[in-house]
Structure 1
């Protein structure tokens, strides 16, 4: 049993859980300016009020797990993306403060709404660009970051940032399709169609860009025998994308949201195919960056205890608030 591989999957699971859970409430923030002031905005925000704080637990688990299980990767990735990480954290802070204060300071609600939307957009863009910076490669010399302050700023990272914004908007729109009714649901459905098309186009653009970004990436997707293992990912992604568009046109309630999650899942599977076994491309594998075996065992015991608890209270929260959202909250 390879503990390093186990930890790689634990980190990947935490990142995926954060993306899909915090992604939809960031997506609602991104779409927030399109909602009418008053009931539409209040209902959209009430739909995530019981769960948005808990969703960010996964960010802590993913970031903390990376530092503990792959300390060398953590020490390389952060200096390479400090401006993006700082922007993301500031965006999350503004969003969190605005979420609370828009209800308690109605005289300045317009300002807090702008902070909520702006913070969500900045956080989403920064997360996508961080992923792009990692995929395009980070220069490492003597086990330390050797690049410049702005190596992360390229056309490719801007593309991955826009793709993440579109994907989060899709998650937010389909969440509202599920949780709202009436005119609010109809508007969310239209936004979902637009976001779905944008997400699919940008996902395809990033995938094609990857083939010219790195020769090793192209080899994994275009040569035998690797192509036989990789081919199901784009095929299943295309099937899910078609089903998502059809479910939005058919006016389903929860189905578009679950299909959006599936689209993200296969997107992350494609990311795994592209990067494996590197944690910091092009030269730092998960085994190069891993903590000592005894440290991994010690941490694994803690995760074995805490992860089921996190999953249990998360599932309970979503079960309790499983209905539609009206003007007075969940019913």
Structure 2
């Protein structure tokens, strides 16, 4: 029994690392797509595209690792989560396809560049919203039923069970978060007017990010008594009690580094805010992974 528990924990850590690596590696270039309409046509947009050109096409590998790890280590969870979020998974994949095609083709034919810029933005927004809403759908719970013919538990919900005020909140929050990462990446990798614009965007997006973190954190314990118990009962409270303080410290450091003209540090601190959010959600979600 202890061996199974240790193996499950190890796989949960692998999956969590893959998801966080995806957020780190793909979050900022999705964020650049979200912010693309705010950039000036011409040098600013070209500089933003060039800043992610060396890395963007390998970032989804981490998403594949997370999905493959879920299938290998928690097949029952995989067989329930995927049917519950099929529309969102399809939307995310289509959004990523639009992004990839737009990224390549916007350089090929200048007269069609506005069309491909729009496709790049739409694909980024759709993929981000789909990921955020899927996270909210999993957090709020998935309907299951015992099915002897299928050899265990199966998904018992409908096609739109994922759609709720809470899942829309998490979708909007991830949209803000990725936009913040994108702005901080541009602060680090661009210069002149593009960097100044990104710095202004990062300031306001950081405020929005803190509001979104507070809203999701306030709503999550009320989704289920089990969440409330894991957040506020021993031993979970020893972890979750530190998160608000760490978020406050990280936010103060972020705004100070931004005001002092920092370039790399704001990006790293924005990632820190994401990591703190993952800690709280991980405390809530881990016991459900094995169903």
TM-score of the two chains, using structure 2 as the length reference: 0.94
**For the Cα contact (< 8 Å) 2:236–2:283, is it kept in 1?**
no
Q: Take 1:151 and 1:129, find their aligned partners in 2: how far apart are those partners?
A: 11
The alpha-carbon deviation at position 225 of structure 1 amounts to 4.5
Instruction: Calculate the aligned-residue CA RMSD, in Å.
Output: 1.1
- 2:184 equivalent among 142, 158, 174: 174
Q: Take 1:276 and 1:61, find their aligned partners in 2: how far apart are those partners?
A: 18
Q: Take 1:277 and 1:210, find their aligned partners in 2: how far apart are those partners?
A: 15
| Aligned counterpart, 2:135 | 131
| Aligned counterpart, 1:71 | 75
1:248-299 superposed Cα distances (whole Å, 9 cap, x missing partner): 12221100000011111111111111223212xxxxxx2x4xxxxxxxxxxx
1:89-122 superposed Cα distances (whole Å, 9 cap, x missing partner): 0000000000000001212101000000010000
The more displaced of 104-113 and 220-229 is 220-229
Q: Take 1:122 and 1:70, find their aligned partners in 2: how far apart are those partners?
A: 27
Q: Take 1:239 and 1:273, find their aligned partners in 2: how far apart are those partners?
A: 21
Partner of 1:153, secondary structure, is coil
| Aligned counterpart, 2:215 | 205
1:147-203 superposed Cα distances (whole Å, 9 cap, x missing partner): 011010000000000000000000000000000111110000011111111111011
Partner of 2:52, secondary structure, is coil
The more displaced of 239-248 and 92-101 is 239-248
| Aligned counterpart, 1:81 | 85
Q: Take 1:81 and 1:14, find their aligned partners in 2: how far apart are those partners?
A: 19
| Aligned counterpart, 2:149 | none
Q: Take 1:245 and 1:67, find their aligned partners in 2: how far apart are those partners?
A: 40
Taking the TM superposition and a 5 Å limit, the aligned residue runs for 1:255-270 are: 255-270=265-280
The alpha-carbon deviation at position 228 of structure 1 amounts to 2.4
Q: Take 1:50 and 1:19, find their aligned partners in 2: how far apart are those partners?
A: 17
The alpha-carbon deviation at position 230 of structure 1 amounts to 2.2
- 1:155 equivalent among 165, 170, 173: 165
1:238 and 2:244 matched: no
Partner of 1:144, secondary structure, is strand
The alpha-carbon deviation at position 224 of structure 1 amounts to 4.1
Q: Take 1:229 and 1:45, find their aligned partners in 2: how far apart are those partners?
A: 39
Q: Take 2:67 and 2:233, find their aligned partners in 1: how far apart are those partners?
A: 34
| Aligned counterpart, 2:150 | none
| Aligned counterpart, 2:231 | 221
| Aligned counterpart, 1:38 | 42
| Aligned counterpart, 2:16 | 12
Aligned residues: 281
- 2:108 equivalent among 94, 104, 120: 104
Q: Take 2:266 and 2:10, find their aligned partners in 1: how far apart are those partners?
A: 31
Partner of 1:150, secondary structure, is coil
TM-score of the two chains, using structure 1 as the length reference: 0.83
